[in-house]
Amino acid sequence: MTATDPHRPSHDHQSCIAQALDLAERLCEQRGARFTPLRRRVLELIWSSHESAKAYDLLEALRSFDPAAKPATIYRTLDFLLEQGLIHRVESLNAYVGCKAPEHRHQLLLLICERCHTVEERPATELMQAAAREVEAAGFVASHQAFEVHGLCAECARS
């Protein structure tokens, strides 16, 4: 288990959130992108747990911050966060998770626990290299690559 494993008793999740928000603010400033209070709040909601967040759940949670928020509000905000690489879309769940390494674009492996619903982002370098070779061999030009694996996280598998 890593220090950021949400199952560890010593896991400081508030620190996770604060680090993600601070990094997002710095990256947006460097990129000349506006990190508005609304965008910050949605990113904070996404990072509020290590589970994926669905757009309509985010919208409902956002209503205490912005009572006039509409579906278009949340989808525009999610589009911005995706464009900036601050979040990832979990395609199989139609949901979103915070990105652990938003400094650069990257391919990813998402491990999705079917019991506790946590989503772990892994670099999976060997898997990504093998996939890149297959894509190249097919003459395919990929625009996005992510692998999602559903099962039980280490903690749930032990219990």
Res. 7: pLDDT tops 70:
no
Alpha carbons within 13 angstroms on the beta-carbon side of residue 78 total 23
Domain annotation covers residue 5: no
Q: What pLDDT, on a 0 to 100 scale, did the predictor assign at position 107?
A: 82
pLDDT tens by residue, 52-62 = 999 999 999 99
The CATH number given to whatever domain includes residue 87 is: 1.10.10.10
Q: What is the mean pLDDT of residues 124-139?
A: 92
Res. 83: pLDDT tops 60:
yes
CB atoms within 10 A of CB 72: 9
Q: What is the mean pLDDT of residues 92-114?
A: 92
Res. 67: pLDDT tops 60:
yes
CA 81 to chain centre: 9
Q: Rounded to a whole number, what is the distance in angstroms from the first to the last CA of the chain?
A: 15
Q: What pLDDT, on a 0 to 100 scale, did the predictor assign at position 108?
A: 85
Domain annotation covers residue 3: no
Domain annotation covers residue 8: no
Res. 9: pLDDT tops 70:
no
Phi, psi of 112 (to 5 degrees): -110, 115
Which of the given ranges, 79-83, 100-104, 127-131, has the highest pLDDT on average?
Answer: 79-83
Q: What is the mean pLDDT of residues 115-141?
A: 92
Q: Kindly tell me the sign of the dihedral angle through the C-alpha atoms of 95, 119, 99, 147.
A: negative
Least confident span in 3-7, 34-38, 132-136: 3-7
Closest CA to 111 of 102, 121, 126, 101: 121
Q: What is the pTM of this model?
A: 0.86
The answer for residues whose C-beta is within 8 angstroms of residue 62's C-beta and 6 or more apart is 38, 41, 42, 45, 69, 73, 74
Residue 108: give the domain boundaries.
13-158
Phi, psi of 106 (to 5 degrees): -155, 160
Domain annotation covers residue 34: yes
Q: What pLDDT, on a 0 to 100 scale, did the predictor assign at position 10?
A: 62
Q: What pLDDT, on a 0 to 100 scale, did the predictor assign at position 105?
A: 82
Domain annotation covers residue 134: yes
Domain annotation covers residue 6: no
Place of tokens 């979040």: 87
Domain count, the chain: 1
Q: What is the residue type of 24?
A: A
Domain annotation covers residue 2: no
Res. 1: pLDDT tops 90:
no
